[in-house]
Amino acid sequence: MENKRVLVTGGAGFIGSNIANRLAADNDVLVVDDCYLGTPDNLDDAIEFHDQSVLAEDLPTDVDVVFHLAALSSYAMHEEDPRHGARVNVEGFVNVVEQARQDGCDTVVYASTSSIYGDRTNPSPEDMAVTVNTGYEASKLARERYAEYFGNHYGLSLAGLRFFSVYQGYGGAEEHKGEYANVIAQFADDIANGEAPVLYGDGTQTRDFTHVSDVVSGAVQAAEHELEGIYNVGTGVSYSFNTVVEMLNNELGTDIDPEYVENPIPESVYVHDTCADFSKLHEATGWEPAISFEDGIEQVCSGY
């Protein structure tokens, strides 16, 4: 993507800042972030930063493309106050898209979630039946329905990306998030500092860990192709938390056992296993993950 005016909401956060920084060299990039989960320290100096909520009425939406990453992005953030979660994740999405539409922007790429697939050890296709068990999941599914409305009613091109366990080390853009950072960054930092990583349950839960640079390339290609509908962004391969700890120990030259604790998230809503079927995005754009998990673990650990 080149010579475009681009808005990234949640652009000072983890995924958002990676997208903004990737595009800043060849595009005019604006970022909106209220700094609840993000920090402008993550951003390239060339980026125009706006300290705003996605609920604001005067957003800088006179752009060619919107990447909407802003969200309350965890189970806990929604269960504490479901109404606030709905305002930020649903009303905030509608507010951004509507302002962009009025300003003449017709291409939006937005974050949905893979957690609505529930427990899946086989790759999950986009057209399988999904279930909502948490406020977070409900808010992301609501986004998909509002995107369908904007596409059908106004002819906008909206691509919803169901991300699978996006990771990067603290050398990236997540250290400031602390307990809300991705588990691989947290595990690596604990082990590198001689502390036991804390695993819920017995550590056998599995995730399709997807490196943030692959997520960025998927999002950018979705915008370039003006995709419509829902697309998985994942690798199609899953690893258990126990295996992650073992790989981190091997890479760091350490031998630190994890600490197992009772899962604070109710078993009825906790997603134990995830795995992506990314064939739809591949067929539409040619996208496929470029960073193997072994290489990703090596990158995470390289800073130590």
Question: Rounded to a whole number, what is the largest CA-CA distance in the chain?
Answer: 57
Note if 177 is an active site residue: yes
Residue 176 has a CB neighbour count (10 Å cut-off) of: 17
- Say which residues have a Cβ less than 8 Å from residue 57's Cβ, sequence separation at least 6: 95
Q: CA torsion sign, 10 to 16 to 20 to 23? A: negative
Note if 280 is an active site residue: no
Residue type, 191: I
Spot the catalytic one: 75, 117, 136, 239: 136
CA pair distance 158, 97, nearest whole angstrom: 9
User: Going by DSSP bridges, is the β-strand pair 157-163/206-207 parallel, antiparallel, or unpaired?
Assistant: unpaired
Spot the catalytic one: 140, 177, 231, 270: 177
Structure tokens at 272: 């134990």
Structure tokens at 215: 């997520």
Classify residue 119 by burial, with Cβ atoms within 10 Å: 0-12, 13-18, 19+.
Answer: exposed
Active-site positions?
136, 177
